[in-house]
Amino acid sequence: MRTISSRSQISPNRQFRRHPIARRPLRRCAERKTTTSSDAGASKESSIQSESTDVTKSPYYRELSKDVDSIDATLLTNAPSDFFELLDLDLDDADVWASGDEDLVQTTVSKAFKKKLVISHPDVLLSKYEDASEEETNEFAVILNAAYKTLSDVQTREPYLNAVIDFRKHFFLEEETKFDGTPVSKWSGEEGETRAVFVDESVCIGCANCAQYASNTFSMESDFGRARVVDQWADDKETIEIAIDMCPVDCIWFVKRTQLAALEHCMKFCPREDPGIMGRRRGGNGGSQRAKVNPFCAAESFLKRFDENGELFGGKNPAGLSFSWHDERLASTIAKAWLSLPEEVRQKGWPDFKHKFNSFGIGGDSSVEDRTFLRTR
């Protein structure tokens, strides 16, 4: 698409033109200020400047409730985020989890729990490490006990395990897809620019209008045949706005620059429907339900994972606590408690910890049968 020359160089009145493929009315042309070259001047400059500084004034704007720069940076590091990771238990091990042998499962969980308890018991930590705090070591002990209690009881293990599978699908942090707070797209905008452009690829139908019109900014990716912003502000604002208006499914948004990294990261894990099925549905000819996961919802959940206030236990010590669910708050609590352990203990008990997640459809090469064994028991 980049080979197509920019129409902005051909037509000086391009703001009044419309791509013939776009069938719907221009989305917000009444709201948009279409300033012509004759009245370009102070008013245009001040209008553009005020949009640049006040991102919420943009008619194509959508935002998340939390910014990436407000998250707890320590939680960006690799840290166990569920009870299986905390006890170093491999969910891929079908010989255990799909064995149907409850004794084997109990023994495996119990062994793993004791191994971690030996090195992380509050008495051990407080006697050996001067910096260890009573509150933090107790918090970790509560979580470790909760892990044992949850996984050793079949009533809680089954629902918890399924919740973890779903959770990992959206929070996978393998090396190549690890979130480090950096956007994927290139930045060619002004330093003071607060907006970025983002395509919701779960809605995009791959018509290529945007990539043909604003060809420096948008490109068609080859895996799913959807449009993607590859270079932020590589076209001028007007060209980008017209490209947005050409989108027949309204899936291109201005977003806060500070939220772009989370959205682009979460977009990697959102399902894209077959364009043929989407087309049939749009034509009123049935087809499956539209995908429920979209990058905005996924990014909201993802950022909650890093919530600094995710203290699940509130300083209390609820003995015998177990869980039949797993969510961002629990993941954050587990990760924070683990990160509070002395470095030496973490190295000893979880040498070179890395999220293990190669079996649930992302990043791995396991067969479909392997991936679904846990669900089909």
H or E, element range at 48: helix 42-53
Task: Measure CA 269 to chain center.
Answer: 7
Give me the least distance between CB of 349 and ligand SF4, in Å please: 47
Give dist(CA 18, CA 177) in Å, integer.
Answer: 38
Task: Render 244-272 in DSSP notation, one character per residue.
Answer: HHH-TT--EEEEEHHHHHHHHHHHTTS--
DSSP secondary structure code for residue 61 in this structure: B
Considering beta carbons, is residue 105 or 252 the nearer one to ligand SF4?
252
Number of residues that bind ligand SF4 (CB under 6 A): 15
Give me the least distance between CB of 189 and ligand SF4, in Å please: 19
> CA nearest 310: which of 87, 120, 110, 71?
71
Which string of x and - marks every residue 259-288 that binds ligand SF4 (by CB under 6 A)?
Answer: ------------------------------
Give me the least distance between CB of 251 and ligand SF4, in Å please: 5
DSSP secondary structure code for residue 198 in this structure: E
Considering beta carbons, is residue 76 or 293 the nearer one to ligand SF4?
293
Give me the least distance between CB of 242 and ligand SF4, in Å please: 11
Considering beta carbons, is residue 152 or 217 the nearer one to ligand SF4?
217
Give me the least distance between CB of 362 and ligand SF4, in Å please: 23
Q: Is 208 helix (H, G, I), strand (E, B) or coil?
A: coil
Give me the least distance between CB of 201 and ligand SF4, in Å please: 8
Give me the least distance between CB of 220 and ligand SF4, in Å please: 7
273: left (phi over 0), alpha (psi -120 to 50) or beta: beta
Considering beta carbons, is residue 156 or 209 the nearer one to ligand SF4?
209
Considering beta carbons, is residue 220 or 341 the nearer one to ligand SF4?
220
Are the beta carbons of 106 and 151 closer than 8 angstroms? no
According to the binding rule CB under 6 A, does residue 252 interact with ligand SF4? yes
80 CB-near residues (< 8 Å, 6+ apart): 86, 334, 335, 338, 350, 353
Tokens of 323: 């869980």
Q: Where are the beta strands (DSSP E) in 249-296?
A: 252-256
Give me the least distance between CB of 188 and ligand SF4, in Å please: 19
Give me the least distance between CB of 177 and ligand SF4, in Å please: 22
Q: Which of residues 186-205 bind ligand SF4 (CB under 6 A)?
A: 199, 204-205
Considering beta carbons, is residue 279 or 361 the nearer one to ligand SF4?
279
* Residue among 207, 260, 266, 270 that touches ligand SF4 (CB under 6 A): 207
User: What are the φ/ψ torsions at residue 173 (nearest 5 degrees)?
Assistant: -125, 45
Q: Where are the alpha helices (DSSP H) in 121-185?
A: 122-128, 134-152, 154-170
Are the beta carbons of 83 and 168 closer than 8 angstroms? no
Considering beta carbons, is residue 250 or 327 the nearer one to ligand SF4?
250
Considering beta carbons, is residue 275 or 364 the nearer one to ligand SF4?
275
According to the binding rule CB under 6 A, does residue 87 interact with ligand SF4? no
Q: Which of residues 210-249 bind ligand SF4 (CB under 6 A)?
A: 210, 227, 246-249
Q: Which of residues 161-180 bind ligand SF4 (CB under 6 A)?
A: none
User: What are the φ/ψ torsions at residue 238 (nearest 5 degrees)?
Assistant: -65, -45
Considering beta carbons, is residue 151 or 199 the nearer one to ligand SF4?
199
Q: Pick the piece of the chain touching ligand SF4 (CB under 6 A) from 5-13, 86-94, 147-155, 206-214.
A: 206-214
Identity of the amino acid at 302: F
Give dist(CA 24, CA 205) in Å, integer.
Answer: 14
User: What are the φ/ψ torsions at residue 29 (nearest 5 degrees)?
Assistant: -65, -25
Give me the least distance between CB of 211 and ligand SF4, in Å please: 6
* Residue among 159, 206, 275, 279 that touches ligand SF4 (CB under 6 A): 206
Tell me which residues touch ligand SF4 (CB under 6 A).
199, 204-210, 227, 246-249, 251-252
